[in-house]
Structures are given as C-alpha cells and as structure tokens.
Structure 1
Amino acid sequence: MLSHKHEIFMEVARLLSFTKASQSLFISQSAISKQVKALEEYYKTGLFERLGNSVALTPAGKMLYEKMLLAKQLQNELYHEFKQLSENFSPQVNMVLGASTTISLYILPPVLSAYLQKNPNVQLTLKNRNSENILKALLDHELDLGIVEGISKVSNVTYTPFLTDDVIAVCSSRNPLKKMQLEVKDLYDIPLALRERGSGTLAVLEDALERKKIRLSELPIKIRLGGTEALKNFVRVDTCLSFLPRQAVLKELESGELVEVPIADLHVRRSFNFIQRKGTENNFPYKDFIQFTKRHYSKMA
C-alpha cells in the first residue's frame, strides 16, 4: 500500500501546486509541506523546485512520480486480485471520477449514494467537466475513470458503453415556437442558444445536422453558454430555441417551464461511455464501480 507521504507527493506532483493539493486533499498546506519535506529527507534529494507561487518537479521528482504511477496501478491490480479471493476484502481507496454535466447532475447522484453505502471504505471525488476536458484529464492522470459522450479515437483509452439519451429541441413556454411543427430547414431562420465548443451535447447535434447536409456554422447562433444549467436558465426567459439532453430537462418539461419542439426527421441521440486508460480495465475499484453502475441502471430501465 502506498504510504500517506507518497499519496500527498503524487497529488502535489500532479497539480504542481502545494495550495491546490491542500484544497484537493482537504489537508492544511503546512501539513502538505511537512510530508513532502519528510520524503525529501528520506530520499536525500529535492523533489520540487520552488518557482515563486508555483513548483516544478526536479529530475528526482519526475522519476519518483513516474514510479509512483506504476506503483499505484500495481496496487489497484493487487486489490482486485484480493477482492476476487475474498469478498470481505475492502481496502480504503480513493477514486476520482470525471463526468459531463448531464451525467454529473442528473444521472450519477443516486448511483453514487448506493455505491458508497455498499462500499464504505471507498472515497469518491466527482469532477464536472465537458467531454473533451474529461479525456484530457484522464490522460494526464488527473482522473481514474471518466464518463463521456460518444467515442473519440484515442488509442490508449478503453471505452465501455453505459447508456443512451436523446437531445431534444426546447423553448420557453412563452415562446410562439412551442405551437409549431418544424422541419430541419426552419433552423436557418430561428435564433439558437447552444452549448460551448467541447461539449458532447453540441458534438452530437452537429453530427446529426451534418447528416442532414446542414452545417452548424451556417445557423443563426445567438449565444453559447458553458453548462447545461446556464443554458436552461437562459432559454426559460428568452425566445431562442435550444437543444438539451432530455434527462436534463425532465422536471422543466413536467412543470411546463420548457416545451419540447418536434423537428421532423431530426433525431439526436447520444451514447455515454466509461473511459479508462488502457491497462486499468480490471483494476479495483474501477471495474467494480462500472459493473455496479450498469446493474443499477439496468434495473431502472
């Protein structure tokens, strides 16, 4: 098992900041510095070079960080093998997840609660980012496991299907569009409010429109907003049409605040996938969490 000092070192090395590591680990900055200093005394060399408000890894620090990443993977493999031998084996582990807005806000909370009740020794951290940033964070070892929309062609990442969701056109209940039956060509004349670049929701919409020979760049996009909640709040009070995940607007559709606007022959469906760095597919607790989550939602289907 990795020592507490090494776990702290890895977080400082990952973030290249004592302050950010303190915030991430919920440990005082002085305690962080004390643990890193103890490691430097143990190895008889400096691990970080202090550069004003930031830090950089020394050659020794880089070597130690690379070895610790390998050690952590071996530790997870060992945990998995022991878990196979004994169901009672329940080590204290930390797992950092990354998921897009729809998954973070509307899909994961119930399953996280159920999973933690069954696995009290697992500590979870969930980071809400768009799909593009989740993939980058995974490759940078900032995340252990991600859930993204669609599949990017990245050779060193494994994709495991999770679930599907529709992206639908919606407008305010006060918008005259709510009574209209639209066709795809009508989008050339309707002001749109959409998500920011890098959003998985935007990517699947763009793909669906391209299949209809329509370029998103040719449409009257009035505003782009970062995040589903910001987009929902804007559309509630504006005359723009927007495209949002059905899972994200279920309550607003039920209350009548937002109205679904059918568009003939335009069907936008997206798939969510778990992503992992290749080589970690069978590691505990990643495999266990994926299986638990898929079972949880298959029972609800």
Structure 2
Amino acid sequence: MLSVSYEVFYAVACHLSFSKAAEVLCISQPAVSKQIKKLESLIEVPLFERQGNAIALTPQGEKMLTYLREAKLIQNRMEADVEIIKSRMTAKAELKIGASTTLSLYVLPRVLSSFRKKWPLVKITLINRNTENVLKALKAHEIDLAVVEDKQESNALHYEFFMNDRIVPVCSARSPFAGREVSMDEFKAAPLAMREIGSGTLSAWSRTMSKWNIKASDLNIKVRLGGTEVLKNFLIEDDSIGFLSPLAIKREVALGLLQEVNIPGLLIERSFNFVTRTGESLTDTTRAFIREAKSVYN
C-alpha cells in the first residue's frame, strides 16, 4: 500500500491544489503541507513550485506522478484480485458440465483440478457422453455447460471457441500398416474400426471423407465401438485402422502399443468449443470455469 505522504502528493498533483487535496482526503490543509514537506525532505528534491496563486509540478514532481499513477493501477488490481480470491474461497455453488469423451478423459481433468483449487467450495459434476447426447442434456437443462467438438447449427445454442485438435489414423504396432506409408487405395481396402454414430470424432472424420468424395459404403468398416477407451483397446489387439485424437493415444504411443498411420494428404482437424443456451446469462462459476480452461491450455 502507498504511504500517507505518497497518497497526499498524488491528490495534490492531480488537483494542483493543496486545499482541494485536503478536501478530498478529509484532512486539514496544514496536514497536507506537512506531508508534502516530509516527502520532499525524504527524496531531497522539490516536487511543486509556486506560480503566482497557483502551483505547478516540477520536473521531478512530473516524474513522481507518472510512477505513482502506475503504482495506483497496480494497487487497485491487487486489491481487486484479493477480493476475487476471497470470494472464490467462500463461494458455494454447483456447476454441472457435460463433455464428449476425448475432452472428459484427456483434456478437462487438468482444468477441473486447477479450477477446484481456486474455487474449493464449488461442487462440480462432469458427465461423459458423446457430443450428440451432451447437447441433448444441455438443451434439457440437465447441465449448465457443454464442452464438445465442432459446431452444430442451432439457434438455441451459443458456441465459444476453446482449442483446436486433430484426428489421426492409428493402428497397433503389430499391424501390417504400422511404420510405413499407406496409399489411399490401401486405406479404402483396409479393415476399419470406427466410433459410434453421434460421436464428435466420427463427425470430424465424416466431414473430411466427404471432401475426398469417399462414402462410408466405399470403405471396409468392420466394427463400430462406443467410446474412445474401448476403441483404443480393440486397436491394440487387432490389425484394423481406427481414428482417434493424439490427446487420447499419447500414453499408448509412448509405450509402443499404437502408432499413427501415415496416409499422405489426409488431414482431419476439428475444434473444441464451450456451448451454452442462447440468451441465457452465465453464472459467475461458469464464466470462471471457461476462463480457467482457456488459461490452462494457453
């Protein structure tokens, strides 16, 4: 906190008046003069000069005012942040979040841990469903916030960008497709293991296949599996190619259980988004969670 002398100088410098400063600070004018003299004695330079009945800042006073403006801004931010921290520590609320599988398993745990440390009394519930069912839960007011892949056209929903992601072809390290380039013709004939209808991973994959003018019926889809973990475990044991986010296979790739398949020219991208109900005011805890997520991943 700024000392009394600096606060008095700041008031006098802003108003260029001892009497006005005294009025603003609710102290006597002699007390103002005493504090200015004390400060000038301390720094050993004059801060004001008389110009007839008025006063003006000396060059040293101008410099002092510049520094104090910065100090006041820092002080105000600090005080505001302290109040926010105090409110975080005592805020009691409930936050219900729905997220698609990749986000629930591999992205949000880090955010939830960071958020919980700052808002310890907020009760958090996270449901893990595919994108389609998460959005149904949001529309039905079962959750406060959805975090899903990409956007679906809907006037009832408001989307806010969170982060980018990719979907990559992947196979077992023992698969005949591991460790080599796979042509598009080979890919079309290869056995495929896919996510279930309604998953965000499948939606991103389908959009890219459409750009290549490839229909699901053109491919050798052998199995559809409901969930990222079951798909990963299947691919480890099988010789099929599947499609997953790099976020989901980080550990398996590091352990040498799975490998990305090199299919030249095939790039599948998507975005993760926060979704809320259009026209609905967000609670402080929902806003805080969104801010925390963006902070953690930026």
The alignment's TM-score, normalised by the length of structure 2, stands at 0.70
8 Å Cα contact 2:161-2:271 kept in structure 1: yes
SS at match of 2:284: coil
Partner of 2:209: 209
8 Å Cα contact 1:160-1:274 kept in structure 2: yes
8 Å Cα contact 2:145-2:274 kept in structure 1: yes
Q: CA deviation at 1:219?
A: 0.8
Q: CA deviation at 1:179?
A: 3.1
SS at match of 1:294: helix
Q: Distance in 2 between matches of 1:175 and 1:186?
A: 14
For 1:94, give the aligned amino acid: E
Q: Distance in 2 between matches of 1:204 and 1:165?
A: 10
8 Å Cα contact 1:166-1:245 kept in structure 2: yes
Partner of 1:75: none
8 Å Cα contact 1:193-1:223 kept in structure 2: yes
Partner of 1:248: 248
Partner of 1:59: none
**Are residue 234 (structure 1) and residue 244 (structure 2) matched?**
no
8 Å Cα contact 1:150-1:272 kept in structure 2: yes
SS at match of 2:292: helix
For 2:224, give the aligned amino acid: R
Unaligned stretches of 5+ residues in structure 1: 1-82
1:78-118: CA deviations, max 9, x gaps? xxxxx99x523343111110111111111111110111011
Q: CA deviation at 1:183?
A: 2.6
Q: Distance in 2 between matches of 1:250 and 1:268?
A: 17
**Are residue 121 (structure 1) and residue 121 (structure 2) matched?**
yes
8 Å Cα contact 2:171-2:241 kept in structure 1: yes
For 2:226, give the aligned amino acid: G
Q: Distance in 1 between matches of 2:271 and 2:281?
A: 20
8 Å Cα contact 2:93-2:122 kept in structure 1: yes
Query: Pairwise mapping of residues 67-106 of structure 1 onto structure 2 (< 5 A)?
Result: 87=84, 88-89=86-87, 90-106=90-106
Q: Distance in 1 between matches of 2:187 and 2:176?
A: 15
Give the percent of matched residue pairs that are identical in Structure 1 and Structure 2.
41
Partner of 2:257: 257
Q: Distance in 1 between matches of 2:278 and 2:285?
A: 15
Give the root-mean-square deviation of aligned CA atoms: 1.7
Q: CA deviation at 1:186?
A: 2.4
List structure 1 runs of 4+ shifted beyond 2 angstroms.
Answer: 86-91, 183-187, 279-283
Q: CA deviation at 1:281?
A: 4.8
8 Å Cα contact 2:104-2:128 kept in structure 1: yes
**Are residue 107 (structure 1) and residue 107 (structure 2) matched?**
yes
For 1:224, give the aligned amino acid: R
Partner of 2:19: none
Partner of 1:297: 297
Partner of 1:275: 275
Q: CA deviation at 1:218?
A: 2.0
Q: Distance in 1 between matches of 2:279 and 2:287?
A: 12
1:165-199: CA deviations, max 9, x gaps? 11111111111111331233322210100100000
Q: CA deviation at 1:284?
A: 1.5
1:226-253: CA deviations, max 9, x gaps? 0000000001011111111110001111
SS at match of 1:176: coil
Partner of 1:162: 162
Highest CA radius of gyration, 1 or 2?
Answer: 2
**Are residue 179 (structure 1) and residue 194 (structure 2) matched?**
no
Query: Pairwise mapping of residues 120-139 of structure 1 onto structure 2 (< 5 A)?
Result: 120-139=120-139
Partner of 2:10: none
1:62-88: CA deviations, max 9, x gaps? xxxxxxxxxxxxxxxxxxxxx99x523
1:233-292: CA deviations, max 9, x gaps? 001011111111110001111111001111111101111000001233542211111011
Partner of 1:35: none
Partner of 1:153: 153
Q: Distance in 2 between matches of 1:128 and 1:276?
A: 17
For 1:184, give the aligned amino acid: M
Q: Distance in 2 between matches of 1:103 and 1:231?
A: 16
Aligned length: 216
Partner of 1:58: none
